[in-house]
Copies of this chain bind each other. A is one copy, B any other.
């Protein structure tokens, strides 16, 4: 099985590691615009051959793991070049624009729209790890538009990697993921910004920061190259979630200004319900 991975960073590299481990016959080919990343992924051992777009006709599976703006450009080109039995899937955090882009492509049936809910705040091939996807949710959009045999090929990979499958339409996907993922990133980035601005002349202050702060601001380490295109593609949904978040923060501030600390207590107690929701997410 020839697996071509376009983008050998955290996500693509972690797929390479697990597919090599799960499929004896897998040969992994890497394609990356950054020669240093490609070199690193070969010397780290999870890519067998540095490759390029010209060789895509030899692929049984192509995984596109690059920022979502680049994926929109690259996916149609990949579909143009693959053979009829090749499965192509992307792993991006937005799905609507991409599905729209290829809806009339003659090889639409070779494409599966995939979003594995997995990652870390790190990036690049050195961030790739084994078992990143084990136990994680994998959202598949418009599954009915993919050829049945190629759906099966995808499921075999996701199943051996230990993922749980959820089906969803791309519009719902983009709407809900704005709440449970994209908004968290903005809240974290702006928290980091607020504190860096305020405390820039007081380096010692960060001795006061504990694990709670580290946890809340962790996502502010994330890659701008990955996240700016996500916010752009999911602009309307993200703006809506952000407005609701700002409204809630303003209400909290007003409660404080008016000394309504009983209501603040109540707000927090209600939100403790998040414990139930988080059960099972680590």
Chain A interfacial positions (CB closer than 8 Å to B): 117-121, 136-137, 139, 164, 166, 173, 176-177, 179-181, 183-199, 202, 204-222, 224-225, 227-229, 231-232, 235, 238-239, 241-246, 248-250, 252-253, 256-257, 259, 261-262, 264-275, 277-278, 281-282
User: Do B245 and A249 touch (CB < 8 A)?
Assistant: yes
User: Do A253 and B261 touch (CB < 8 A)?
Assistant: no
Contacts of A222 in B (CB 8 A): 268, 272
Contacts of A196 in B (CB 8 A): 270-271, 273-274, 277
Number of copies: 2
User: Do B241 and A194 touch (CB < 8 A)?
Assistant: yes
27 A-B Cβ contacts within 8 A? A139-B208, A176-B199, A181-B210, A181-B213, A184-B212, A184-B216, A184-B217, A186-B249, A189-B267, A190-B252, A193-B267, A197-B244, A198-B244, A209-B278, A209-B281, A212-B219, A215-B216, A216-B218, A221-B272, A224-B268, A224-B269, A231-B256, A231-B261, A232-B259, A242-B256, A246-B246, A249-B249
Q: A190-B248, A205-B179, A220-B274 are in contact. Are A214 and B281 (CB under 8 A)?
A: yes
Contacts of A199 in B (CB 8 A): 176, 179-180
User: Do A281 and B211 touch (CB < 8 A)?
Assistant: yes
Q: A217-B184, A239-B256, A261-B228 are in contact. Are A282 and B211 (CB under 8 A)?
A: yes
